[in-house]
Amino acid sequence: MTQPPDTPVVSTGEISSEAPVQATAAANAPTASAGGGRSFLPANTLLRHLLVLVACAVGAVVLLEITDPFTNSQLAQLTYYAIAAGGLTVLTGLNGQISLGHGALMAVGAYTTALMLDADEPLPLPVVLLAAVALATVVGALVGVAAARLHGPYLAGATLALAVGLPGLAVYYGDLFGGEQGLRVRAPRAPESFESFIDLVSGNPPSATKWLAYVGTICLLITFFLLANLVRSRIGRTWRAVRDQEVAAELAGINLGAWRVLAFVVSAACAGLAGGVLALVVRLAAPSGFTLVLSLALLTAIVIGGLGSLVGVLLGSALLVFLPPFVTDLGADLGLNSTEAAQLAPFVYGLVLVVVMIFAPAGVVGTIRMRWLTARARRAARGAGS
Amino acid sequence: MQQFVNVTLTGLISGSVYAAFALALVLIWRSTRIVNFAQGSMAAATSFIALALIQAGQSYWLALVVALASGFVIGAVIERVVIRPVEGGPELNAVIVTLGLFVAIQALIAIVFGSSFESFPAPFGLRGFTVGETTIALTPNSIYVLVAVVLTMAGLIALFRFTRLGLAMRASAFGQEVARLLGVRVGRMLTLGWALAAVVGSLSGLLIAGGGLVYPAYMDALIVFGFVAAVLGGLDSPVGAVVGGLTIGLALSYVSAYLDPALVNLAALVILMVVLLVRPGGLFASSTARRA
């Protein structure tokens, strides 16, 4: 079985270095506001994103106030999925690196938050969350340095090992991290200003769940605002250059490795924040919360929405939150017992990953945008012809 | 000293199973340039088929044959239906598809067979042999494991070295277009490659299950160890996979015995990182395929 070196390797490698172009081309097409000129939104990116941010904030408040407490807690869940998936989509969609280790990076953020809130005199919540981000960033930088030299299956395997290996630390240092049982999280109480705000807006009871949903939403909005600007900046363009044409990017003086590490660091920071929010919302940081299935669920969220698309991430995260109760009920109706029905959700995640990758690799948002752009181009061509 | 001998023996035996699993990954990587992350789930599925037969009163050997045959069929069907559309496409897409299969099959096992821990019988005794006064960690069952792995490898070497079919498979892995021009049915060879790899993967799943507990996710750690072993050997080299598997088996056995069992998975991560950073081509790299 000792064979001479395979020759087709080289050609496969060449295909793969341009690989993500197909999958993410749609996500990188100029949006209507940037390219069309028929939009009411301002042309300045920062101003436009600020306007969208304000609109989304108003929309989020309305959504949180008209829904019941249970939906509030589901939306809180959505925020941490979306924050982590937002970071992952920037890494995978824009820079072409895959990571199965984001669950582990979320664990770093969650444990940091749990430990810092457990202190006798806990620091203010923003400081705690920033610390979670900082620590996840450091870990992400370490992983990123290794990851920058890898691609495709190698990177997937290395980050897979991270996802499987890192929770072992929580068990090994059981005294500090609470072993398999994990740490209970003492979520801080809502400030008075929040209660008067809710009273002013809707008069709903300002419950702890609602407060945490708002914390998650604020984190989500800030993260997405920063990511959206980053994507449209010089940094985002450089990442795409690194992803699409390694050689050309290198010739243009771009240090491939450094930019890959930066992408990983940004993405890890998001995962850290997401972990912090998760710890607050779930009120528990335990190894069982950060299994491989979590990392793969995040991957499902970014793939179904469309790699590289932040709107797609929201769609995908909504799927992660609202699909499991739905299919679990469906399974119970079909006569499965509760543990079997609980497995239907991961089954659907897996199926979705396979089906989307085969039939619509650009994801929902990407496919719709591609259709729309083709239709517009056709219309334009017809207009020019007649 | 006695503990050292026992730990080494345990490491060599689990290492031989990792080697078989890594070999399955290498077989698929060579022919289709895809790392099959679903390998572990596929193997777990066949183990559960075998377990169902054994619990129904059939013999271990019949269950083994049925499990390997179902592994063959599962591998062929998956290649044909799911992998073919993404073959030769963007490598990220293939990775995501196999990851999707990984989750889906694992969840399907839990739905069909339940997610509780079941004990899986071993065909031979689990009591260690006694040398003089002391019992060593070598059991009749571990000898069966070693023999099964060695026989499988010998069979694969014979297939690839001495048969026309093996030659055709090597040709399609080596140069698809040239092989096709020379009349090799490349598509069939790729399907066969996946099917064979699934058989080897299933065998390693059954061997590791023997005498232990199985549950839908019991192969999760093995996919990591197998991958680390395969990368250690360079992903391209079958000999490398075997040596890599034995190395990983030994290293993890020492970590488990002398440090802490909770650190085994982390040790695999550390080994993988060191290999990828120091010798990205693996210990037996035969090509410069990887831009790593």
What string of H, E and C letters represents the secondary structure of A355-375? HHHHHCCCHHHHHHHHHHHHH
* Model ipTM over 0.85: no
* DSSP type of residue A90: I
Assess if residue A195 is contained within a domain: yes
φ, ψ (nearest 5 deg) of residue A183: -110, 135
Q: Nearest-CA neighbor of A77 among A365, A372, A318?
A: A318
* Per-residue pLDDT at B176: 80
Distance CA B150, CA A244 (A): 44
The band of B131, judged by pLDDT with boundaries at 50, 70 and 90, is confident
Return the H-helix or E-strand segment holding B199. Answer: helix B186-209
Is the pLDDT at B289 greater than 70? The verdict is: no
Distance CA B34, CA B26 (A): 9
* Per-residue pLDDT at A8: 38
Is the pLDDT at A36 greater than 70? The verdict is: no
Q: Nearest-CA neighbor of A356 among A298, A300, A297?
A: A300
Is the pLDDT at A38 greater than 60? The verdict is: no
Mean pLDDT of chain B: 85
Q: Nearest-CA neighbor of A3 among B190, B20, B173?
A: B173
* Per-residue pLDDT at B285: 56
- Chain A, 276 to 295: residues with Cβ < 8 Å from chain B are 292-293
Inter-chain touch A165–B224, beta carbons under 8 Å: yes
Matching residue, tokens 């994507």: A231
Assess if residue A308 is contained within a domain: no
Q: Are B111 and A343 in contact (CB under 8 A)?
A: yes
* Per-residue pLDDT at A222: 92
Q: Are A219 and A277 in contact (CB under 8 A)?
A: yes
Is the pLDDT at A16 greater than 50? The verdict is: no
Assess if residue A341 is contained within a domain: no
Interface membership of B96 toward A (CB under 8 Å): yes
Q: Nearest-CA neighbor of A229 among A127, A86, A372?
A: A86
Is the pLDDT at B246 greater than 80? The verdict is: yes
Distance CA A340, CA B116 (A): 10
Please report, rounded to a whole number, the percentage of residues in chain A having pLDDT higher than 90: 16
Inter-chain touch B97–A354, beta carbons under 8 Å: yes
B246: helix, coil or strand?
helix
Distance CA B264, CA B255 (A): 6
φ, ψ (nearest 5 deg) of residue A123: -70, 165
Assess if residue A262 is contained within a domain: yes
* Per-residue pLDDT at A17: 36
* Per-residue pLDDT at B44: 92
Is the pLDDT at B147 greater than 70? The verdict is: yes
- Written as six digits, the tokens of A147 are 């990851």
> Distance (Å) from the C-alpha of residue A313 to the closest C-alpha of chain B?
16
Assess if residue A349 is contained within a domain: no
Residues of chain A with C-beta less than 8 angstroms from the C-beta of B44: none
Assess if residue A250 is contained within a domain: yes
Is the pLDDT at B72 greater than 60? The verdict is: yes
* Per-residue pLDDT at A119: 79
Taking CA atoms, A372 is separated from A32, A93, A302, A381, B6, in Å, by 10, 20, 21, 14, 66
- Written as six digits, the tokens of B212 are 């232990």
Number of domains in chain A: 1
Distance CA B40, CA B61 (A): 21
Mean pLDDT of A72-99: 90
B252, amino acid identity: L
Taking CA atoms, A363 is separated from A25, A43, A309, A351, B45, in Å, by 11, 27, 9, 14, 29
Q: Nearest-CA neighbor of A72 among A208, A191, A275?
A: A208
* Per-residue pLDDT at A2: 41
Assess if residue A326 is contained within a domain: no
Is the pLDDT at B138 greater than 60? The verdict is: yes
Interface membership of B243 toward A (CB under 8 Å): no
B263, amino acid identity: L
What is the SS3 assignment for B117-176? CEECCCCCCCCCCEECCEECCCCHHHHHHHHHHHHHHHHHHHHHHHCHHHHHHHHHHHCH
Please report, rounded to a whole number, the percentage of residues in chain A having pLDDT higher than 70: 89
Inter-chain touch A19–B89, beta carbons under 8 Å: yes
Residues of chain A with C-beta less than 8 angstroms from the C-beta of B265: 161, 164-165, 167-168
**What are A280-327's pLDDT values in tens digits?**
998 888 888 888 888 888 988 888 888 888 888 999 899 888 888 888
Print the domain residue range for A237: 30-291
CB pairs under 8 A between A and B: 226
- Written as six digits, the tokens of B229 are 């072993």
Distance CA B216, CA B237 (A): 30
Distance CA A84, CA A272 (A): 8
- Written as six digits, the tokens of A6 are 């395979």
Mean pLDDT of B72-101: 88
Which of these ranges, A28-42, B73-87, B183-197, has the smallest mean pLDDT?
Answer: A28-42
Identify any residues that bridge with A183 across adjacent strands, giving them in sequence order: A285
A19, A169, A353 member nearest B99 (Cβ): A353
Inter-chain touch B273–A296, beta carbons under 8 Å: no
Return the H-helix or E-strand segment holding B111. Answer: helix B91-113
Q: Are A309 and A207 in contact (CB under 8 A)?
A: no
φ, ψ (nearest 5 deg) of residue A215: -60, -45
- Chain B, 135 to 174: residues with Cβ < 8 Å from chain A are 156-157, 160-161, 170, 173-174
Residues of chain B with C-beta less than 8 angstroms from the C-beta of A2: 237-239
Assess if residue A62 is contained within a domain: yes
- Written as six digits, the tokens of A191 are 């400030």
Distance CA A273, CA A134 (A): 9
Q: Nearest-CA neighbor of B252 among B277, B279, B270, B273?
A: B270
Interface membership of B69 toward A (CB under 8 Å): no
Interface membership of A11 toward B (CB under 8 Å): no
B243, amino acid identity: V
**What are B18-65's pLDDT values in tens digits?**
999 999 998 888 888 888 889 999 999 999 999 999 988 888 899 999
Is the pLDDT at A114 greater than 50? The verdict is: yes
Which of these ranges, A16-20, A45-49, A246-250, A255-259, has the smallest mean pLDDT?
Answer: A16-20
* Per-residue pLDDT at A32: 40
Q: Are A365 and A312 in contact (CB under 8 A)?
A: yes
For B122-131, letters b (16+ CB in 10 Å) and e give bbeeeebeee
* Per-residue pLDDT at B203: 92
Distance CA B197, CA B27 (A): 6
- Scanning A90-187, the segments in alpha helix (DSSP H) are 95, 102-117, 125-147, 152-165, 167-172, 174-177
Q: Nearest-CA neighbor of A183 among A173, A191, A192, A194?
A: A173
Most confident of A35-49, A257-271, A288-302: A257-271
Inter-chain touch A349–B280, beta carbons under 8 Å: no
Mean pLDDT of B217-234: 85
Is the pLDDT at A10 greater than 90? The verdict is: no
How far apart are the two ends of chain B, measured CA to CA in Å? 40
> Distance (Å) from the C-alpha of residue B189 to the closest C-alpha of chain A?
16
